[in-house]
Structure 1
Amino acid sequence: MPCYNLKNKVAIVTGGGQGIGAAIAQLFAENGAKVVLAEIDEEAGLEREAMLRERGLDVTFIKTDVADEESVKNMVKKTVELYGGVDILVNNAAIMSVKSIFERTLEEWERVIRVNLTGPYICSRYAAEEMIKRGGGVIINIASTRALMSEPDTEPYSASKGGLLALTHSLAISLAKYRIRVVAVSPGWIETSRWKKSKLRSEPKLRPIDHEQHPAGRVGDPMDIAHICAFLADNEKAGFITGVNFVVDGGMTVKMIYAD
């Protein structure tokens, strides 16, 4: 029985073909939503679409590059043509760059910022236009604990996710008069090996210490993020929540670590 009231809601999940996005799309559809997989990887998108449709879920893949305004406009237009509107947007698509600041090109920096920060802005802008016509909606930005803490050589990713948190509270205020809630979710270590497209799918290779270092006792699973997103998308359960960030990391960002 569905846990969340998403019946007949129209949800766009960017990067919905693999990983966390795939889990969010699946859980939303299982709870009655009509879901668009806005995915740049056609192979992943079509495979996920087929997988979920085999289960009788209402899911449609639309090839989308969130960094390209025309691609986003086309995706939103097709969503409205297919389902009649937009109620929920999950800005999940993102890319990573791990390289020394002295070796990374400016083009590499700008590409990460374009996908991870400008992309959510573009998607929010066009999805919000359609949400207004429906009397409101919900935008969920998938940020990261790397917005709050870092490993070496991850500057563009961390900066983009930090910017996404600021974009979240800014949009929450700007769109409040239209009854559009905007929230962020910051995952920690989420093991996605089982949620990739088939040619990349594998079993996780996790050590006991990987689980034990988390106060919650385990590494995260994509469904951990999907459930908080489904809760936040449910206006009956989360209608009083907007402008804030939920850290879902098994407690790692509050754990003090000292050398032996």
Structure 2
Amino acid sequence: MVNFSLEGKVALVTGAAYGIGLAIAQAFAEAGAKIVYNCSRRETLERGAAAYKELGIDAKGYLCDVTDEESVKAMVADIEATVGTIDILVNNAGIIKRIPMEEMAADEFRRVIDVDLVGPFICSKAVIPGMKKKGHGKIINICSMMSELGRETVSAYAAAKGGLKMLTRNIASEYGEFNIQCNGIGPGYIATEQTAPLRERQPDGSRHPFDSFIIAKTPAARWGTPDDLKGPAVFLASDASDFVNGHVLYVDGGILAYIGKQPK
């Protein structure tokens, strides 16, 4: 029988107060995992605590910035001492700045790289020793279609997510012999707060031009939802994926496979 159970596993999902991170954490909890999460701001942490309480999930939250290595080390040490060794890490925390490249300051570019790429490096580095001692571990990096494609105004995000794809492959290469699997999930366009500006109705009631573009480019003819990521995440976190390593699973409704409709 294929084992998708996460019973007794400890899962750290970064930036999981809402959206994709919360949905993945909820799926893990339903599969039996103990949930810990972090946020970089107190108000977001409290928002997450309220969300987990409403879902009936006993999750432990930490105020921790994933770009602060000492803070991450302290968080991981506390989790190991009070909850248990981390079996599953989901590097979900991320930001995006939609700014044309010519107008983007280098500091803005560096901030996106720091959160979206350096943060997963720091968090992965912190949990790997415990996983090695335990003899197994799962690291899931939340990549993006921008790990494969470019688009206007997201130079920093695309650079970070492209780098995260290669970090995923390198962790798999370096630590596979310790029974640690590192894979990525590449969401397509998911209906979250982060993408809400791209779905706003126009003054005349019509769709946002980008919203129409995405619907036309997606064979599924819809935006994804955070729930669409639950099954893939549980698979990659469970024993069912023990021989899957260094892979990015694109959950995109078919966008990357589709050339698009012929103009009429």
**TM-score over 0.5 for the pair:** yes
Work out whether residues 33 and 58 of structure 1, in 8 Å CA contact, stay in contact via their aligned partners in 2.
Answer: no
Aligned to 1:20: 20
Distance 1:53 1:8 in 2: 20
Q: Which runs of 5+ in 1 are unaligned?
A: none
- Runs (4+) of structure 1 exceeding 3 A deviation are 53-56, 204-213
Q: Tell which deviates more after alignment, 160-169 or 93-102.
A: 93-102
Aligned to 2:91: 91
Residues 156, 4 of structure 1: alpha-carbon distance in 2 compared, 3 angstrom cutoff: same
* 1:79-98 alpha-carbon deviations (Å, 9 max, x no partner): 11221211000001111121
Residues 12, 247 of structure 1: alpha-carbon distance in 2 compared, 3 angstrom cutoff: same
Residues 165, 21 of structure 1: alpha-carbon distance in 2 compared, 3 angstrom cutoff: same
Work out whether residues 73 and 126 of structure 1, in 8 Å CA contact, stay in contact via their aligned partners in 2.
Answer: yes
Task: Tell me by how many angstroms 1:42 deviates.
Answer: 2.3
Residues 18, 41 of structure 1: alpha-carbon distance in 2 compared, 3 angstrom cutoff: farther
Q: Are residue 216 (structure 1) and residue 220 (structure 2) matched?
A: yes
Task: Tell me by how many angstroms 1:219 deviates.
Answer: 1.1
Q: Are residue 253 (structure 1) and residue 237 (structure 2) matched?
A: no
Work out whether residues 112 and 156 of structure 1, in 8 Å CA contact, stay in contact via their aligned partners in 2.
Answer: yes
Secondary structure in 2 matching 1:23: helix
Q: Which runs of 5+ in 2 are unaligned?
A: 202-206
* 1:46-71 alpha-carbon deviations (Å, 9 max, x no partner): 22223323544231111111111011
- The one-letter code matched in structure 2 to 1:93 is A
Aligned to 1:132: 132
Aligned to 1:33: 33
Aligned to 1:183: 183
Distance 2:230 2:92 in 1: 11
Aligned to 2:164: 164
Work out whether residues 17 and 41 of structure 1, in 8 Å CA contact, stay in contact via their aligned partners in 2.
Answer: no
The sequence identity of aligned pairs, in percent, is 38
TM-score, normalised on structure 2? 0.88
Aligned to 2:231: 227
Residues 55, 220 of structure 1: alpha-carbon distance in 2 compared, 3 angstrom cutoff: closer
Q: Are residue 50 (structure 1) and residue 54 (structure 2) matched?
A: no
Aligned to 2:110: 110
Residues 55, 106 of structure 1: alpha-carbon distance in 2 compared, 3 angstrom cutoff: closer
Distance 2:153 2:258 in 1: 22
Distance 2:106 2:247 in 1: 31
2:242 corresponds to which of 231, 239, 244: 239
- The one-letter code matched in structure 2 to 1:40 is S
Task: Tell me by how many angstroms 1:254 deviates.
Answer: 1.5
* 1:16-54 alpha-carbon deviations (Å, 9 max, x no partner): 112111111111112111111121132222222233235
Distance 1:41 1:226 in 2: 25
- The one-letter code matched in structure 1 to 2:254 is G
Work out whether residues 86 and 134 of structure 1, in 8 Å CA contact, stay in contact via their aligned partners in 2.
Answer: no
Work out whether residues 189 and 219 of structure 1, in 8 Å CA contact, stay in contact via their aligned partners in 2.
Answer: yes
Secondary structure in 1 matching 2:102: coil
TM-score, normalised on structure 1? 0.89
Distance 1:186 1:117 in 2: 14
Distance 2:93 2:219 in 1: 28
In the TM superposition, 1:184-203 aligns within 5 A as 184-193=184-193
Work out whether residues 24 and 230 of structure 2, in 8 Å CA contact, stay in contact via their aligned partners in 1.
Answer: yes
- How many pairs are equivalent? 250
